[in-house]
Amino acid sequence: MTANVEALLREALTPVEPPMQFSEKFESTLTVLTEAAQEELDSWELAAMRDPRNWVRPAVAVTVTVTAGTALVALRVRARQKSRRGQSSTLIEYAERTLHDIAEEARRVLPDR
């Protein structure tokens, strides 16, 4: 009985890879959101901060930039990790490569920041 439960749990919790089209569409949507939020922040004027009614748009733009940008970085780093799985010989080397990938993708997602 317990073997059946364990087998069923193992089968139910097996990771499922999403279709490639979904990943590509998700990445392109995150890219569009991040770029649009960055453009909104770039066009915003500091003088407008005096009036609290003007704080909503920049706050939303910052939130979207951080959220979508972080998700985009995580998605791209995860894709790189899959392709490089066997290249690291130690856990420290794997962690260093992952941190390097995170920094590199963050520079791509948020250029000139």
**Rounded CA separation 54/48 (Å):** 6
**What pLDDT was estimated at residue 32?**
92
pLDDT < 50 regions, the chain: none
Identify which of 86, 87, 81 has the alpha carbon closest to the alpha carbon of residue 101: 81
Q: Is residue 41 a contact partner of residue 65, using CB atoms and an 8 Å limit?
A: yes
Q: Is the pTM of this model over 0.85?
A: no
pLDDT in tens, 13-36: 887 777 878 888 988 999 999 888
- Whole-number Å distance between alpha carbons of 103 and 99: 6
Note the helical H segments in 1-113: 2-12, 20-43, 56-83, 91-109
Q: What is the pLDDT of residue 24?
A: 87
Q: What's the full length of the chain, in residues? A: 113
Residue the block writes with tokens 């490569």 = 97
